[in-house]
């Protein structure tokens, strides 16, 4: 689909124009696209974007990579729309050439999916301790999310979860 869209755009682009792919493209496709459009004088940026519903309200984390000649033209725009840390630093910076933006997003997704798997497995363990009371297991997970387990360095998580709820 992305390749088809690029082909449809190309007749309307001039040398030096920039294409930004902000979807979850495979990084190897971004490497190929960077090269293919560069042969036509077009700059390509494969950009990982993350943030979900919170990113829609506060700005996403933006991970651009591709043809480095494009970065000076889009840097100010992308950093302006990105999320910011407490000191105002944008959650957006150039991550590298070719497919680097989508590669970083792929790694980010892998970590996020690992977190989701961990939550699912923790819930399963809690359900075993709490029985079929989903509310009790949920309260235990909420306590971990709010940092109560992290504030108890002398106890392991299992002891904390046994006592909570």
Active site positions, annotated:
105, 112
Q: How far apart are CA 16 and CA 9, in angstroms?
A: 14
Provide the 10 A C-beta neighbour count for residue 140: 25
- Structure tokens that stand for 135 in this block: 């509310």
- Structure tokens that stand for 14 in this block: 């001039």
Provide the 10 A C-beta neighbour count for residue 67: 20
Q: How far apart are CA 125 and CA 131, in angstroms?
A: 10
146-to-23, 37, 66, 81, 139 alpha-carbon distances in Å: 32, 47, 38, 28, 10
């Amino acid at each position: 689909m992305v390749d088809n869209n690029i082909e449809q755009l190309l007749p309307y682009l001039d040398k030096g124009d920039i294409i930004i792919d902000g979807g979850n493209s495979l990084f190897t496709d971004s490497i190929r696209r960077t090269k293919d459009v560069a042969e036509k004088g077009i700059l390509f940026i494969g950009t990982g974007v993350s943030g979900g519903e919170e990113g829609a309200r506060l700005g996403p984390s933006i991970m651009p990579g591709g043809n480095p000649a494009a970065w000076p033209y889009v840097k100010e725009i992308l950093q302006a729309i990105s999320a910011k840390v407490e000191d105002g630093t944008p959650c957006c910076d150039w991550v590298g050439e070719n497919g680097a933006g989508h590669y970083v997003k792929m790694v980010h997704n892998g970590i996020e999916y690992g977190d989701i798997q961990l939550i699912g497995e923790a819930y399963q363990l809690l359900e075993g301790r709490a029985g079929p009371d989903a509310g009790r297991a949920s309260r235990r997970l909420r306590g971990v999310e709010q940092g109560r387990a992290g504030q108890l360095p002398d106890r392991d998580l299992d002891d904390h979860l046994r006592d909570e709820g």
